[in-house]
Structure 1
């Protein structure tokens, strides 16, 4: 993973209305985010130390977990490995839920699913001397109002970029979320080819407060080209130049990880 601090600017106050681009305001009015059902997302990161562990965890998702979660209403589950990992790869699992209750009750319901328990046995019944993984880090997110549902890209070879934006306090974190939603950053993303899969505000997990989102590209060349287009976009320059959205006022750091989907990933 690569981590960097953003260059710093100036103070936040002020209102967004009246100085946003007209196209951003129009997009805001037509999205009707208040009427959309916002999903929740669990992001699991499995730390692995060898090929045996990777095979065991991948087979657990492929043969047991994905189908069991699909039956419970969690569709479009993504399973990814790192692109050009440093050391042994980590496994990333993105699981959407339609409600917080679905997340809470899923383990108990899966434990009562005989087909799941049988298929998951090699993973669930390992001995402490030969664990399936070293540890699992889990984060839980609520979808943004202006992208309330996970959007599955075309099924073809793709590169994914997972980005985490950390803020120094909750107020600053909310301001960055406002920048994506009301100020129109998500709309600009989609227009310039930064194709999002999900945006989520972290409710539980490490490095709070943070927001996390995932983008997808054909390859690294498209990634570099589309980010360059975004950086020079006039509407983005106008929004990012507003004092209330200065990086040093709302962001402490960014972490990005490049991922590739497994053969059985539904994203």
Structure 2
């Protein structure tokens, strides 16, 4: 299974129109072409002007076949033309292709607030990072009320990244969960043991996201 993460950076003021087009049209076309949907999110924190969504396909060949058919679909072309009479809605598209790690659950969400985190591993340390998550971190997240949604690695290029998504009931639960996790002696012990020969993560990035009202759950 291949997952595609797509981020649409909207033309200023056009994010509501992008969300409306997905809600009223695009999701239906995706379903028509059997394009799997994990979810659609808007940023929860900060003055954001972007939409994040994740799709899934059987393979890269399956992705190319279905995506090309969707883009060539006349009803979609008509909707796009109609919604862009006043100009384009999307200024930039960022996408990446991923596959689930062996220890990842199948992506599903019991919560409506998610956190997407990207870890750039130190050179040669990605396997150690995977081991720490699979053997320690995931169970500790659950212990502290943090939902493990999914864990991915990128499949195109020489990536050294771990991409994962967590879930929370609300922002307060996020803060409480992370405070409990980071102060847990079991986590501190696991981290110290895994970093005896140096840190595993070079750079980390995260964004707090809320499922769009129209997103499948």
* TM interval, short-chain normalised: 0.7 to 0.9
Q: Which runs of 5+ in 1 are unaligned?
A: 1-38
The 8 Å contact of residues 64 and 120 in structure 1, kept in 2 or not, is answered as: no
Contact 2:113 2:210 in 1 (8 A): yes
Deviation, structure 1 residue 48: 1.8
1:101: which partner in 2? 61
Runs (4+) off by over 6 Å: none
Q: Distance in 1 between matches of 2:57 and 2:26?
A: 14
Q: Secondary structure at the match of 2:69?
A: helix
Matched position secondary structure for 1:241? helix
Partner residue, 2:211:
261
Post-superposition offset of 1:241: 1.8
> Aligned pair 1:195/2:147, yes or no?
yes
Q: CA RMSD, aligned part only?
A: 2.7
Between the two structures, name the one with larger relative contact order (CA 8 Å, sep ≥ 6).
1
Deviation at 1:166, TM superposition (A): 0.8
Q: Which residue of 2 aligns with 1:70?
A: 31
Match of 1:45 in 2: 7
Aligned residues: 217
Query: Which residue is 1:143 aligned to?
Result: 100
In 2, the alpha carbon distance for the partners of 1:107 and 1:193 equals 37
Whole-angstrom distance in 2 between the partners of 1:62 and 1:82: 17
CA apart distance, 1:162:
1.1
Shift of 1:119: 4.1
SS of match in other structure, 1:256:
strand
Would you say 1:167 and 2:121 are equivalent positions? yes
Q: What pairs with 1:1-267 in structure 2 (closer than 5 Å)?
A: 39-51=1-13, 53-86=14-47, 88-111=48-71, 113-122=73-82, 126=84, 130-154=87-111, 158-169=112-123, 171-181=124-134, 183-204=135-156, 208-242=159-193, 244-245=194-195, 248-267=198-217
CA distance in 1, matches of 2:73, 2:28: 11
Distance 1:43 1:186 in 2: 22
C-alpha distance in 2, partners of 1:114/1:223?
44
Higher strand fraction (1 or 2) = 2
Give the greater-gyration-radius structure (CA). 1
Q: TM-score, normalised by structure 2?
A: 0.85
Tell whether the 8 Å contact from 1:140 to 1:203 is kept in structure 2 after alignment: yes
Give the SS at the match of 1:240.
helix
